[in-house]
A and B are shown apart, each in its own frame.
Chain A
Amino acid sequence: MKNRFTLFFALLAGTLILLVTNVFVQKRMAAIVQEDKLVDENFAADGTPPVVAFSTMALGGFRGLIADILWIRAGDLQQKGKYYELVQLSDWILKLQPKFSAAASHMGWNMAYNVSVACKRPEDRWRWVRRGIQLMQDAITMNPNDPNVYHELAWIYQHKLGNVLDDAQRYYKETMARQLIFIYGKHYPDWEAWAASPATEEALRELFPAGHPAWTAILEYNQGDLARLFGEFQLNGGLPKELKDKLSPEDAIVLDYYFRRKWLKKEWNVDPETILAVDKRYGGLDWLLPESYGIYWAYVGMQRSPGKSLPLTRLTLQSLVASFNYGRMLLPKENEISDFFLLVPNTGVIDAARELYKEVLTSQEYAHGPFEALYENFLIDSVVTLYTYSQKEQAAKLYQELRNDTKNGNSKKMTLDQFVLNEWEDDIVSSDFKQIGNELEGLLFTSCLLIGYGDRDAAADHLALALRVYNGYKNKHEGYDRVSLPPFNEMKARTAQAIIENYPPEIANRLRAELEEDLKKQEQAAAEASASGAGQEAAGQ
Chain B
Amino acid sequence: MTAFLAIVKLTIRSAVRSHIFRLLLILLLLSVFLLPFTLMGDGTPKGDVQIFLQYCLGFAGFILCLSSVWLACSEVSSDVETAQIHMIVVKPVRRAVVLLGKYTGVVLIHLFLLLIAATAFYAFLSFRLASSEFSEQDRLLLNEQVLTARALYSPVRPDFNALAQAELDRRIKDAQEHGQNVSQYQDDQTRQEAFLELRKEMIATYGLTSEGETVFWQFEGLPKDLTDDDIVFLRYTVYVNRYYTQDQNSVRGHWIFAANYVRQDDLGGETVVSDLMALPEEDILTSSQNEMAVPIRNSYFIYDGKAEVGFLNMDKNTAELNFEEGKGPFLLIREAGFFSNYCRAILVLAIGILSVTLLASAVAACMSLPIAIFFSAAYMLVGGLANYLVTSIPDALDFQAEYTGTFGYRFGDLLLNLIVPLQDFFVTGHLANGELVSFPFIGMLFAKDFVLRMLPVFLLGAWIYTRRELALVSKRG
Contact = CB atoms under 8 A, between A and B. Distances in A.
Interface of A: 79-88, 91, 117-118, 120, 124, 127-128, 130-131
Interface string B269-310: 000000000000000010111100000000000000000000
A86 B41 CA distance: 8
5 closest A-B pairs by beta carbon, nearest first, are A81-B289, A84-B47, A118-B288, A81-B288, A127-B43
A127 B47 CA distance: 12
Given A79-B243, A80-B237, A81-B290, A88 B40 contact: yes
Contacts of A84: 41-42, 44, 46-47, 50-51, 432
B285 A131 contact: no
17 contacts: A79-B243, A80-B289, A81-B289, A84-B41, A84-B46, A84-B432, A85-B51, A87-B40, A87-B43, A88-B39, A88-B41, A88-B51, A118-B285, A118-B288, A124-B44, A127-B44, A130-B43
Q: Which of A83, A85, A91 has the most CB of B within 10 A?
A: A85
A117 B50 CA distance: 21
A87 B433 CA distance: 17
B42 A81 contact: no
B54 interface: yes
A88 B37 CA distance: 12
A109 to B, nearest CB: 15
Interface in B235-266: 237, 243, 250
B237 A81 contact: yes
A507 B116 CA distance: 61
Interface of B: 39-44, 46-47, 50-51, 54-55, 237, 243, 250, 285, 287-290, 432-433
A86 B40 CA distance: 9
A516 B432 CA distance: 62
A81 B54 CA distance: 16
Nearest to A86: B42
B42 A131 contact: yes
A498 to B, nearest CB: 28
B42 A127 contact: yes
Contacts of A118: 285, 287-288
Given A79-B287, A84-B50, A118-B288, 9 more contacts: A81-B287, A81-B288, A83-B47, A84-B51, A85-B51, A88-B40, A88-B55, A127-B43, A131-B42
A85 B54 contact: yes
A87 B41 contact: yes
Contacts of A117: 250, 285
Contacts of B289: 80-82
A325 to B, nearest CB: 27
A278 to B, nearest CB: 29
A195 B197 CA distance: 71
A104 to B, nearest CB: 15
Contacts of A127: 42-44
A459 B319 CA distance: 48
Contacts of B39: 88
Contacts of A81: 237, 287-290
A114 B372 CA distance: 46
A91 B40 contact: yes
Given A80-B237, A84-B47, A84-B51, A128 B42 contact: yes
A338 to B, nearest CB: 21
B43 A131 contact: yes
Contacts of A124: 44
Q: Which of A81, A82, A127 has the most CB of B within 10 A?
A: A81
Contacts of B287: 79, 81, 118
Nearest to B41: A84
Nearest to B429: A82
A376 B91 CA distance: 101
Contacts of A128: 42
Nearest to B284: A120
Contacts of A82: 289, 433
Nearest to B146: A84
Contacts of B50: 84-85
A118 B39 CA distance: 23
A83 B290 contact: no
Contacts of A130: 43
A127 B44 CA distance: 9
B435 to A, nearest CB: 12
B218 to A, nearest CB: 24
A247 to B, nearest CB: 32
B251 to A, nearest CB: 13
A161 to B, nearest CB: 17
A79 B248 CA distance: 11
Contacts of B288: 81, 118
Nearest to B49: A84
A83 B42 contact: yes
A195 B41 CA distance: 35
Contacts of A80: 237, 289
Contacts of A79: 243, 287
Contacts of B433: 82
B237 A87 contact: no
Nearest to A128: B42
Nearest to A83: B42
Q: Which of A84, A86, A117, A120 has the most CB of B within 10 A?
A: A84
Q: Which of B47, B243, B432 has the most CB of A within 10 A?
A: B47
A80 B243 CA distance: 10
